[in-house]
Amino acid sequence: MKKEKAFLKAKLIEFQLKVAELTHALSEQDQIFQGREKSLYLSLFEISDAFENLNENLSAKEDNFDKTTRMLAKNIRSIHKKLTRMLRANHILQIEFPDNIARMDYCKVVDTKASPDMENETILSVVKNGYINKNENIVLRKAEVITVLNDADC
């Protein structure tokens, strides 16, 4: 009977070690997957930035375009919309600032300007859009913004 208990105890310990090993391996695989996924999203955000810059340039000169160039601009905008829809389908949304106030958990201030008629931390412009995974409420990339910073001495 003692031998059977010892054998079962050894098997139970072996089983628990195997479970712990597999749990650890699964956790490592999950971290690797999340790292790859974030890297992929960051690359897609860079592509989206390029489309936005291209769209701004096209919009500024659109009045002078011939029919073929207008069609090309329309196709470029269509591709950008498809990218945006694909991100949205994966619960990745552009960070918005409805109150136009910088929140450090959602943005990174890259420059400041004085504006006496506005409150400090008011967003003057967004240099790069930020993105958030709404399902997991994780900021994937903070928005880069220019905000108001008025000297206290004024």
pLDDT tens-digit series, residues 50-70: 999 999 999 999 889 999 999
Read off the pLDDT of residues 95-114 as tens digits, 9 standing for 90 and up: 999 999 999 999 999 999 99
Residues 6+ apart with CB under 8 A from 52: 80, 129
Q: Say if CB 118 and CB 94 are below 8 A apart.
A: no
CA distance to 7, 12, 15, per residue, from 19 (Å): 18, 10, 6
Determine if the pTM surpasses 0.85: no
Does the domain at 95-154 match CATH 2.30.22? Answer given as: yes
Domain ranges of the chain: 1-90, 95-154
